[in-house]
Every structure is written in C-alpha cells, then in structure tokens.
Amino acid sequence: MSSQIQKQIYLDNAATTQMAAPVEEAMRPYLRENFGNASTMYGYGETAKEAMETARAQIARSLEASPTEIYFTSGGSESDNWAIKGIAGAKKSEGRHIITTKIEHHAVLNSCAYLEKLGYQVTYLDVDAYGLVSPEAVADAIRPDTTLISVMFGNNEIGTIEPVMQIGKIAREHRVLFHTDAVQAYAQLPISVRQYPVDLLSASAHKFHGPKGVGFLYVREGTPLPSFIHGGGQEKGKRAGTENIAGIVGMGKAAELAFSDLRQRVQREIMLRNYLMEKITHEIPGARINGHRTKRLPGNVNVSFQDVDGASLLILLEEDGICASGGSACNTGESRVSYVIEAIGAPEEYAAGTIRLTLCGQTTRRDVDLAVESLKQNVARLKPVQGPGSGGASAGVR
C-alpha cells in the first residue's frame, strides 16, 4: 500500500493544523525587526502594540464581538481554565455549583475536578448515543446555587455539535453564566456572539492553521472575570505577562484567512467528510461511525471497527503514510478506550477499535480514497483469524 502514497496524508487536523504560509509571513517581522515589547512607549513598542490590537480586531470581527471582549491567552487549555476557575471564584458568594458534561475536553473536566477539591459541587451530565447533551437535562440540573454552565460547542473526538443556542437561552433565563469550549468549532462554524447567548468562549490558534501556544478567551462585556495570571497590567490588568506578539499576529491572520472563505470551505469539507463516512461504512465490514451524522463538525470522522485494536491500526496506517489518531491528542498514553466513547455507550467489541480522521481545506478526494484503501487492507489484517483451530487469535501487526 505504501508505494501508492507519494506523500504523507495528514488526517489529524483536530490535533493540530499546518500553519498557513501567509500566517508565517505575517509573523516573521515580529520575530526579528519588530521585536518590541508592547508595553513600552517608544517606536518598537508602539509598532508591537498596533499589531496586537489589529489582531484583536480581526478576532473580534470573526465573532461579531467588540475588541474589548477579546483576551489573549496561551491556548485553549488556559482559556478554559481561566473561564471556569475565574467565574467560580468571582461568583462563589452566590453559589458553588457548576454544570458540565461527561465528554468535555480535559481542560474543562480537570478544572472542575480541581474546584471540587476546594468544596465546589459539579454536575456532570450524561449524553445520548450520538454525544448530544439534552437542554432539558441542563435545565433540570440548575439549582439556586448554580453559577456556571460549561458545554463545548463541538466535541473534539466524535465531532458532535452541541445545542449551544438552546443551552445558552436556558442559562440566560436562570441568570447563570454560560461558557463554551469552541476550540474545535471556531473557524469551522459561523459563530456570532450577537446571536449565541454565550458569556465566555475559548479558542486556540493552532486548530485553524495558526501558530501553537496562543489562543483567546471571549468575555462578554459585564461578565465578572478576575485576573488569572498576576503580575503586570497586560490585557487590561487581567492576564499578566509580556505578550506573544508574533503568535498573536499569526492568530489574527489565521482568523482572517479562515473566515474569508468559511462558507465555501465548510461546504467542501462536509461533502468530503460525508464521502469518507460512506466509503468506510460501505466498503469495510464491521465499521461504526460515532457521533451525530449531521450535527457534526465539518471535517470530523470518528469510526470504530469491530474486534480490531485501534492502536495497532494507527501503527499500520502510519506505515502507509497516513496520520490519524485514536481520539484527543491530549489523552495519548492513557486508557485504550476513550472516555467519550464510553460515555456514548459504544459496544465493547467496537470501543477499543476507535480512530479519528479529521480533514481540512487542503485534504483531497484522492487522500480520502487512499486512506480508505489502507483502512480496508489493515482492518482485514487485524481481524481475528476465523476457522478451525484458530482459537480466535488476532493476526496482529506483522
């Protein structure tokens, strides 16, 4: 199979994306000649500050937000931590109860677990077989001491898009603040904070062809969010530390590029995603698509193969030049069965055979065809040997 592939086929864009060439070009001057600290008053600093505020405006426009509502961070995990721990601290006199789901990213789940050690109470809501949380379940979980609801926009493993609009409306009705982890959804879906009733939203640049190590937190005007990193007065005194100007400039440029052709790019990704799902389910026996078929992130395909070891399958795919993953890149080395796959109740004979294939605007139909051909051959190779005297032994990786 490897001889058919002239280059690597990268199908792990949910883990990270390749930085776009115009993003690198935009960043380069701020790595060398325009190296100033944005907090200084002379020319170098003013140039850096102007570039940073341009990027803030680019991000704000993408969300139909005000630039004053955008705070730069080191990425999605910091943004999630700041939103959850910050609101918990700011609202603790009103209550110590938080609502989230069992399939959130670990940045959310572990922030909630940390708060539980401090005496907070967290309700972790179940999801259905598609990974959807029920808005009614959210409403039923709200208590007089509930101060925050955190539900992701789109799941990083199975791609299911959550009912954020309905949950946000419920939160507003009960005067509870609402945070959404939009790390996978931002720049994949049109998100307007004028339309969506969210108070805080997290995103990360490297998920939309920007640089690693930079992200942002949208904070609706009037939301009581305290400082997260203490020190100097950067980010209106709420997030100390000299700003990563090159990274911020790159993120702004990546956002501008992503939203310039969002509709056409997403339509193409959805068509290619559906083509990939159809080929897998029609050509590979024992394949099961996880997540909602239509309420799904444009480039996400999460699939389980019956009686196949997913880790072994990923090794064989990599030998064929195909990059994929078993789920969240943040969970590598942990339990063989993803907690998200467990939460949706995947049958035991499928759960360990789960992989995630995620596309981007550069993915081609030929990439998909070659990937499916590799999957067909390697799934068959890993299937348990059938027949007299086989004892059910797996062919394994040879």
Q: What are phi and psi of 271, to 5 degrees?
A: -60, -45
Q: How would DSSP label each residue in 38-84?
A: TTSSSHHHHHHHHHHHHHHHHHHHHHT--GGGEEEESSHHHHHHHHH
Nearest to 325 by CA among 300, 295, 344, 289: 300
DSSP conformational letter for 154: B
Nearest to 204 by CA among 236, 160, 135, 251: 251
Q: Distance of alpha carbon 228 from its chain centroid, rounded? A: 22
- Residues 310 and 352: beta-carbon distance below 8 Å: yes
What's the CA angle centered on 300, arms 329 and 62, to 5 degrees?
90
From 112, 323, 330, 360, the catalytic residue? 330
- Residues 148 and 91: beta-carbon distance below 8 Å: yes
The pairing of beta strand 121-125 with beta strand 97-101: parallel
91 vs 68: CA distance, rounded Å: 22
Rg of the chain over all Cα atoms, to the nearest angstrom: 22
Side chain identity at residue 396, one-letter code: G
Active site residue 360: no
Q: Distance of alpha carbon 193 from its chain centroid, rounded? A: 18
Quote the strand ranges of the chain, DSSP E. 9-10, 70-73, 97-101, 121-125, 146-150, 177-181, 200-204, 215-219, 287-290, 300-305, 322-323, 354-358
Q: Rounded to whole angstroms, what are the CA distances from 134 to 125, 148, 166, 167?
A: 9, 17, 9, 9
What's the CA angle centered on 360, arms 329 and 30, to 5 degrees?
80
Dihedral sign computed on CA atoms, order 2, 325, 190, 55: negative
The residues that are catalytic are 330
